[in-house]
Amino acid sequence: MLGLKKDEIQLCEHDKEWPIEFEKEKKILTKILGKLAVSIEHVGSTAIPNLKAKPVIDIAVGIKDLSVLPEIMKRLSDEGYKVKGQWNEVLEETFVSKGVPECRTHNIHVEIYGGKNWNNQILFKKYLLNHPKAVKEYEEMKLEMCAKFNGEENGRKQYQASKERVVSKMMEKAIKEFGWIKPLN
């Protein structure tokens, strides 16, 4: 199963099709963006085996610098992707989604390759892939927050904020273990 309503919080068992769906979308994005995308990576919970996740594929698209952003947004919009606002200086990304609001299937984070947000996503993924106990801890927290906030007004935002607190603690451990990582490739 792939897809989720806009404000819904739902966690599913890890689906072995998620990495396959990522690879399919990566091919599509590579065709659309060409060399404007320095790297395209599967990030988020669907990239972690055995971790319950929202059935939406998170993809980080790394770009060289902001000069290519208008062309990337135009190309994605022309292909039916939903561009969600302008460059966010705090998050260091522009958010794009695929699918209709009733069933969003992909979240695409256009980011500076090697920038803080890019490195954080890659480092968090690396940490979880190397720490099954952390995966279970993260999953338990997500299930607890899902039960607490699903159906509540602003529940998705509250769920996200609660997740960020746990992610921050795990990121501290990841940086201690791996150091600050350099970009892939």
Domain CATH code at residue 93: 3.30.460.10
Higher pLDDT, 92 or 22: 22
Residue 3 — very low, low, confident or very high, per pLDDT cuts 50/70/90? confident
- Give the pairing of strands 37-43 and 93-100: unpaired
133 within some domain: yes
27 within some domain: yes
C-alpha to C-alpha distance for 5 and 104, rounded to whole angstroms: 6
1 within some domain: no
pLDDT reading at 126 higher than 70: yes
User: Which domain, by its residues, includes 38?
Assistant: 18-178
User: What pLDDT, on the 0 to 100 scale, is given for residue 88?
Assistant: 65
185 within some domain: no
Higher pLDDT, 159 or 39: 39
Cβ neighbours of 51 (radius 10 Å): 21
pLDDT reading at 182 higher than 60: no
3 within some domain: no
Q: How many domains does the chain have?
A: 1
pTM score, whole prediction: 0.90
9 within some domain: no
User: What pLDDT, on the 0 to 100 scale, is given for residue 185?
Assistant: 40
Summarize the confidence of residues 163-185 as an average pLDDT: 78
163 within some domain: yes
80 within some domain: yes
pLDDT reading at 133 higher than 60: yes
Q: Of 105, 81, 74, give the one whose Cα is nearest residue 95.
A: 81
